[in-house]
């Protein structure tokens, strides 16, 4: 193989292309001079692309990645051309599949009682495109009201018992649960309390739902959600 063209990258490195214009890898100026790399010279595969591929394989051995997520991680250590070439190689080897990643990630997050809205947001943060994220969320067979109730029972019962329904409703809205879902979850808990399925203190905290209060709290929530990095 021969070097067809050498171009300078935005990071000040040198991108090497073969005779057909296909990107091969990039090197710094010292490596370029030391190895006497020039257009028309015979070439052996150099270190940067090999290192990027090895890094990609290492990351994928830990867990699945979306293509965009893997590319961003590789760009922390390599220039954009080398990172893109390594991602393309992982795709060629069928080690990257955004649809598969999105389905698995969405299922995992649903199991953690995340709302559909929060699941979609997290998929987009991982570099999954909107259509793929929407399809993964739509394929979930989950009860969002039950998920919302589970979150309340795990994290917000004391606030309800203290009469801080407004804070609980706003927190749930930030987690991506809609007004209708929050209302349904609270009403289900209220019904259970009245049937004697909850303790006396919980029953006191779960007073009859007041629609304006719930709607006002939902409207006042800023719509943002807590960000948790990585795969829990």
Is pLDDT above 90 for 110?
yes
Alpha carbons 230 and 95: distance in angstroms, whole number: 19
pLDDT tens for 186-232 read 988 888 877 665 544 544 555 444 444 444 444 444 444 443 434 43
Q: What is the pLDDT of residue 207?
A: 47
Q: In terms of CATH architecture, what is 3-92?
A: Orthogonal Bundle (1.10)
Going by the DSSP 8-state scheme, the letter that residue 21 receives in this structure is: S
Alpha carbons 183 and 149: distance in angstroms, whole number: 10
Q: What is the pLDDT of residue 37?
A: 76
pLDDT tens for 54-64 read 999 999 999 99
pTM, two decimals, is 0.61
Confidence band, pLDDT 50/70/90 cuts, at residue 159: confident
Confidence band, pLDDT 50/70/90 cuts, at residue 53: very high
Q: Can you tell me the mean pLDDT for 35-42?
A: 76
Alpha carbons 164 and 153: distance in angstroms, whole number: 14
Task: Tell me how many helices (H) and strands (E) the chain has.
Answer: 13, 3
State the CB neighbour count (10 A cutoff) for residue 135. Answer: 15
Confidence band, pLDDT 50/70/90 cuts, at residue 26: confident
Give the start-to-end residue ranges of the domains of the chain: 3-92, 98-138, 144-219
Indicate the Cα dihedral angle 67, 70, 74, 79, nearest 10°: 20
Show the tokens assigned to 120. 């979609």
Q: What is the pLDDT of residue 1?
A: 64
């Amino acid at each position: 193989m021969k070097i067809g063209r050498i171009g300078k990258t935005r990071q000040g490195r040198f991108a090497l292309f073969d005779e057909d214009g296909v990107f091969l890898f990039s090197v710094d100026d010292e490596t370029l001079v030391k190895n006497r790399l020039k257009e028309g010279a015979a070439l052996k595969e150099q270190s940067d692309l090999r290192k990027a591929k090895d890094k990609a394989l290492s990351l994928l051995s830990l867990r699945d990645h979306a293509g965009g997520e893997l590319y961003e991680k590789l760009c922390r250590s390599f220039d954009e051309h080398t990172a893109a070439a390594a991602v393309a190689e992982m795709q060629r080897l069928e080690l990257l599949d955004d649809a598969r990643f999105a389905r698995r990630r969405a299922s995992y997050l649903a199991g953690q009682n995340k709302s559909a809205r929060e699941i979609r947001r997290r998929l987009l943060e991982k570099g999954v495109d909107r259509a793929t994220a929407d399809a993964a969320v739509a394929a979930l067979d989950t009860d969002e009201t039950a998920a919302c109730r589970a979150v309340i029972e795990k994290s917000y019962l004391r606030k309800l018992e203290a009469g801080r329904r407004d804070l609980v409703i706003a927190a749930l809205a930030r987690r991506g649960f809609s007004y209708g879902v929050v209302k349904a979850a609270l009403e289900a808990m209220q019904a259970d309390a009245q049937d004697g399925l909850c303790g006396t203190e919980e029953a006191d905290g779960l007073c009859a739902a007041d629609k304006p209060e719930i709607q006002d709290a939902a409207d006042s929530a800023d719509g943002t959600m807590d960000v948790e990095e990585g795969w829990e």
